[in-house]
């Protein structure tokens, strides 16, 4: 029971990590919401596009891809110029967090393998989830009429430049990226 409670504490800590997505209603996205949305969207896209993936692996990658942030915190992408210092320490902070999770939960070897596999992008499933992770904020920001980018003074051309190579890891996700760009350009003040 103590181990289970400790693991629940980790997931609660994960829920407390606020991402740098500011919604129009004044709320911020958190890591748990983001990971759930990523998992269910990955499932939807894989089915809608008849992708031949190991769906269990896709869902595990999506649910665990940011779990290290429970200890390392969220690090905004390069398009958020205000957070340059955080990006410089991201790799080391996340490595330390992964080691901490491994030490706290040595019995959960599968989780550690999923975290490592996602970071290495060692298969098509991890590449798909990685690319989708990069487009999810864009889709949410579009649905919120660009509010977060306006708040942080982010320019769409910077987003495209920063994201395009990462999103190209998955041809299917790239297709959606190419479709959302004209919609983003139609938003006022972006």
The DSSP call for residue 26 is S
pLDDT of residue 100: 98
Domain 2-185 CATH assignment equals 1.10.3210.10: yes
Burial of residue 142 (number of CB atoms within 10 Å: 0-12, 13-18, 19+): middle
CA dist 59 → 20, 91, 175 (Å): 23, 24, 21
Element (H, E) at 88: helix 84-88
pTM attached to this predicted model? 0.93
pLDDT tens, 97-153? Answer: 999 999 999 999 999 999 999 999 999 999 999 999 999 999 999 999 999 999 888
**Residue 12: what pLDDT?**
97
Q: Tokens standing for 133?
A: 């992770």
Structural domain boundaries in the chain: 2-185
Classify the phi-psi angles of 77: left when phi > 0, otherwise alpha if psi is within -120 to 50, otherwise beta.
Answer: beta
């Amino acid at each position: 029971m103590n181990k289970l409670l400790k693991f629940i504490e980790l997931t609660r800590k994960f829920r407390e990590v606020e991402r740098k997505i500011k919604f129009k209603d004044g709320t911020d996205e958190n890591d748990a919401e983001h990971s759930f949305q990523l998992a269910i969207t990955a499932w939807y896209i894989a089915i809608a596009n008849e992708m031949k993936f190991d769906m269990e692996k896709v869902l595990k990658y999506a649910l665990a891809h940011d779990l290290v942030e429970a200890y390392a915190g969220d690090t905004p992408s390069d398009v958020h110029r205000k957070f340059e210092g955080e990006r410089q320490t991201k790799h080391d902070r996340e490595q330390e967090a992964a080691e901490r999770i491994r030490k706290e939960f040595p019995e959960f070897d599968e989780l550690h393998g999923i975290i490592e596999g996602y970071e290495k992008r060692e298969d098509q499933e991890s590449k798909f989830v990685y690319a989708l992770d990069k487009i999810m904020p864009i889709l949410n920001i579009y649905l919120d009429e660009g509010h977060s980018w306006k708040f942080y003074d982010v320019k769409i051309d910077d987003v495209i430049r920063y994201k395009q190579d990462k999103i190209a890891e998955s041809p299917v996700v790239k297709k959606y990226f190419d479709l959302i760009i004209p919609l983003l350009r139609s938003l006022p003040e972006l």
